Structure 1
Amino acid sequence: MPNFIDRRLNPKDKSLNNRQRFLKRVHDEIKRAIREQVKSDNIIDVDAAHGVPMPKRGADEPSFRPSANAGDRQYVLPGNQDYSPGDRIPKPEGGVGGSGHGRPGMGDGSDDDFIFILSRDEVLDLFFEDLELPDMVKLNLKETVTFKPRRVGFTTAGTPTNINVGRTMRNSFGRRVALRRPNDKEFQAIAEQIAELEKEEKPSESQRRSLQSLREELEMLERRRRRIAYVDPVDVRFNRFEKQPLPNANAVMFCLMDVSASMGEREKDLAKRFFVLLHLFLKRRYERIDIVFIRHTDEAREVDEQTFFYDRQSGGTVVSSALEEMQRIIADRYPSNVWNIYAAQASDGDNANGDSELCAYLLREHLMRLCQYYAYVEIIDERESDIFGATDNGTSLWRAYRTVHGKMPNFQMTRISKPADIYPVFRKLFARHQPIEMRK
């Protein structure tokens, strides 16, 4: 029974359809492999191509074969010179069939495993597939002011840059066939006959008549070809575009990070990893969103992306300064009746005496009434994760924020202690869920 495999190439010589079918077939295994790599590698490496080990079993292309349990069959088995009926045949080393069936990367899996290379776009699509900013009740949707061109077929009028060559030549060919426009083969055949007759030094009367007839026929074909153009204006087709309105929902994400002296290199590294993942997620999933970066010690200031991730700074800790700076920026540039406001904050929980209560007050009475969603990530020591990981005990900032978490459904908080915690926590904070009604 033959196997039928579609190996037709796309116009760009890439079998994209077959590649996408393969990705769909091994979707879960690829996602698992990417997550395992991200837990062990740098978060920044998410934004790159990945080689994913895949088991050969289950990744083969489907094929047709006769059913083993139906129909009548006759088998002809070849003989051998090594065994007789009743002899015991030893098993081949390495399991049945001489090859292993372990997981990728386990043992000698060269026969069963292969490396599938994913592009940067494919990695990010799989990585952020089921994540999004919480889809709460939108504060405001501005009137549609932006448009995106969308292909909607063909038209007979347009600019030269939008000519569809394929459709134009198809129309031209159909018209030439219908009107029986002479082609090059007909001209070549008559020209060869004329050349043969012209070679005769003393042509007969019949040859002269044939030569004259062929010349007249060639002239007629030439006139006919001039009358029927190769490409006529009626053949030309242009790509047609329509302006597709895009809902212009204004959104802004505030990123607040503690860079004070209490944040050691480990804590700062974990915070940066979390915000790098958040930055990749926002840029990948949302085209129209502003990102505001705020760093703070005992005073807060708005910085650019480069400074936020890479500049070194230390000092005391006053967390309320970052919240006050965020409130000031909202009042100046992002009014809550126009913008959908989101925020993410990372800190080790250390704060000046009495400032944690002020932070909770600012959130309860002001910021949470303006924000669609607020996520707080506290970075704790690995030795403390077993003690404080699942309790309300901990730093003064954590205890103060718990009073906000109990009253505001659009406020979420969690803890991380090591790089492997970042992605699970990120999924928990930004997983797709049902809309939440904000409390006023």
Structure 2
Amino acid sequence: MAHFIDRRLNPKDKNLGNRRRFLRRVRSAVKEAVDESVRRRKIADVDQQENISVSSEGIGEPHFQHDSKGGSRHRVLTGNKTFKAGDRLKKPPSGQDGQGGREGAPDGEGEDEFMFVLSRDEFLSMFFEDLELPDMVKRSLKEVAVSKPHRMGYTAAGTPANLSVSRTMRNAFGRRLAMRRPTNTEIQVLTQQVEELEALEKPDAARKAERQLLREQLDKMLRRRKIIPYIDPLDVRYKYFEMRPEPAANAVMFCLMDVSASMGEREKSLAKQFFVLLHLFLKQRYDKIELVFIRHTQIAAEVDEDTFFHSRQTGGTVVSSALNEMKKIIEARYPSALWNIYAAQASDGENFSGDSQLCADLLNSELMKWCQYFAYTEIVDETEANLMNSEDNGMELWRSYRQVAETWPNFAMKRIARASDIYPVLHELFARKTNGVSNG
């Protein structure tokens, strides 16, 4: 029996073709494992590689084997000195390696699992699949670091666009001085003297000898001028640039979420995917990002990430309590002059009557002056999303936030019913980065 497996190496010594075919075969199991990992992981660690376990069924490689019923065979079978025909063999003891017996299991049948490592790019590709991000944005988010060229002196080789005229002329001037290349002034003076002597009608012998000497000096200077060029290829210098990561800037991302009884597991799962996507984008601009989690019912509190997503505490809904808590934290720890502040808020749209206008006033008067970007997502049912044909319609909180969006260009709001709705919320932020407009 012969196995044929493509082991030809792709760039960086990886069998990319085989790996991709394998991932296509087990895509459903891998996608399920990725979704579970996103729910389990911390937001800051979501883009790390992952160990994935899938069923061993269906992962075998294709192979050829000989037909047992046809063909001509010549076999050499090994003999033995211990047994002969008719001997009875004892059954091998159970549980020993390399032997046929196995100990029974009391808890029913099981199935072997195959463990492999999903790389960072493969993990992110699976995560982005449901979000329906454009390919350009996917490639941008997979980049580990953003680098910019920095001046690092000069080099003797480069492109014409990087030519340093000043350094080239300085080198040429020093070389001409060192090699005593005749100057234009020296040649003009000598030429004028020769012309004056040649203009004499009846020069004496001394004048003729002087004229001949000056001609020889002029010819020598002209030959030396041709041999020693004004600019030599050795003089040319180009500006040299080295790619370096962008200088780190301080950034903080506030995650605000309503955890009242109406926010179930589906709503919290969509909210987490929204927070993860914003964090991945910010990670391209800042080497280090601090995360602040604020959950609220009728009261708000700063909590850790595990409590933020998994605590079962419920209650009423007063959204302004979360905005007030965010304001206190900024004033105490994150002054806007030193930090780039981003905020992402997730809610089902319900709020205590009369509190929504207070939220809008708080954003207009204080928070939006400090924030580089504030994104609000209202998580609704799919049927409810289909009924809402216009963004002008909505509950009291949505209508109040519409006033904020009309005043502040760095405020974005969107309804989310499925994972693919998340990207449009951040589309403006991606577009601003692509156009080169700095928020910092």
- TM-score range, shorter-chain basis? 0.3 to 0.5
TM-score, normalising length: structure 1:
0.48
Relative contact order, higher structure (CA 8 A, sep 6+) = 1
Q: Highest CA radius of gyration, 1 or 2? A: 2
TM-score, normalising length: structure 2:
0.48
